[in-house]
């Protein structure tokens, strides 16, 4: 039985990762399961790849096992791809998302149509016991809406508008969002790579 530690404290992410990567030959455990929830991880990378690798390698160095980590965020083209890797910390870690969301809407007050393009990005990094690493990236393209809509999801979902569906990601059910999300795509790509290399 293979063991993969997922370097996250987020239960929602654990569930999604178990759904996509889980199987008979693999045990997927959280930092809490391994009593590693208090390990300090300094996320000072400039890219999603760097941050995901920092998280996974910090834990891998301590445990010597296979470790998976993710990093994600929102890129708004009109704002030079901000908030990007700073999405969680944008305008302050404890600032309510309704404030962050309305601030972004305001920043885009002169932007129309295609100028409102944005994407959610997710990078998954896997560090192997021999120190090698694999990363995969998933994105979902959309636009910044003119007002917050919907109450599902979290974070920037209420302003992330999907033109082809005519709604925001906060108006999708969790199942619908998982099928098309940046995290789902990056995880599915990681599943394929790990299978190819006989690591799952």
Residues identified as active-site = 71
What is the chain written as a DSSP string?
-EEEEE----HHHHHHHHHHH-BTTEEEEETTTTT-TT-------SSHHHHHHHHHHHHHHHH-SEEEEEEEEEEEGGGTTEEGGGTTTTT-TTS-HHHHHHHHHHHTTT--GGGGEEEEEEEEEEE-TTS-EEEEEEEEEEEE-SS---SSS-TTGGGEEETTTTEEGGGS-HHHHHHH-HHHHHHHHHHHHHHHTT--
Report the residue number, 145 or 155, with the smaller CB distance to ligand IMP.
Answer: 155
Work out how close the CB of 1 gets to ligand IMP at its nearest, in angstroms, rounded to a whole number.
28
Report the residue number, 146 or 154, with the smaller CB distance to ligand IMP.
Answer: 154
Question: Which residue is at the shortest CB distance from ligand IMP?
Answer: 155
Work out how close the CB of 156 gets to ligand IMP at its nearest, in angstroms, rounded to a whole number.
4
Report the residue number, 155 or 191, with the smaller CB distance to ligand IMP.
Answer: 155
Backbone Cα Rg of the chain: 17
Q: Which residues bind ligand IMP (CB under 6 A)?
A: 70-74, 87-88, 120, 153-157, 181
Work out how close the CB of 198 gets to ligand IMP at its nearest, in angstroms, rounded to a whole number.
28
Report the residue number, 23 or 163, with the smaller CB distance to ligand IMP.
Answer: 163
Report the residue number, 88 or 99, with the smaller CB distance to ligand IMP.
Answer: 88
* Whether the Cβ atoms of residue 50 and residue 39 lie closer than 8 Å to each other: no
Work out how close the CB of 74 gets to ligand IMP at its nearest, in angstroms, rounded to a whole number.
6
User: Token digits for 136?
Assistant: 């995969």
Work out how close the CB of 196 gets to ligand IMP at its nearest, in angstroms, rounded to a whole number.
25
């Amino acid at each position: 039985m293979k063991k993969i530690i997922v370097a996250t404290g987020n239960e929602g992410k654990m569930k999604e990762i178990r759904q996509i990567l889980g199987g008979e030959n693999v045990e997927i455990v959280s930092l809490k399961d391994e009593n590693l929830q208090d390990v300090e991880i300094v996320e000072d990378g400039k890219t999603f790849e760097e941050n995901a690798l920092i998280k996974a390698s910090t834990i891998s160095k301590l445990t010597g096992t296979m470790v998976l980590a993710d990093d994600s965020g929102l890129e708004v083209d009109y704002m030079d791809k901000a908030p990007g890797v700073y999405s969680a910390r944008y305008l302050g870690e404890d600032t309510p998302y309704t404030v962050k969301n309305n601030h972004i809407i305001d920043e885009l007050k002169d932007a129309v149509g295609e100028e409102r393009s944005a994407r959610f990005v997710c990078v998954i990094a896997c560090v192997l016991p021999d120190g090698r690493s694999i990363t995969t990236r998933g994105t979902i393209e959309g636009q910044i809406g003119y007002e917050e809509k919907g109450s599902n999801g979290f974070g920037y979902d209420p302003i992330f508008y999907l033109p082809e569906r005519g709604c925001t990601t906060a108006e999708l059910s969790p199942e619908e969002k998982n099928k098309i999300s940046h995290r789902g795509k990056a995880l599915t790509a990681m599943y394929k790579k790990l299978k190819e290399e006989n690591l799952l």
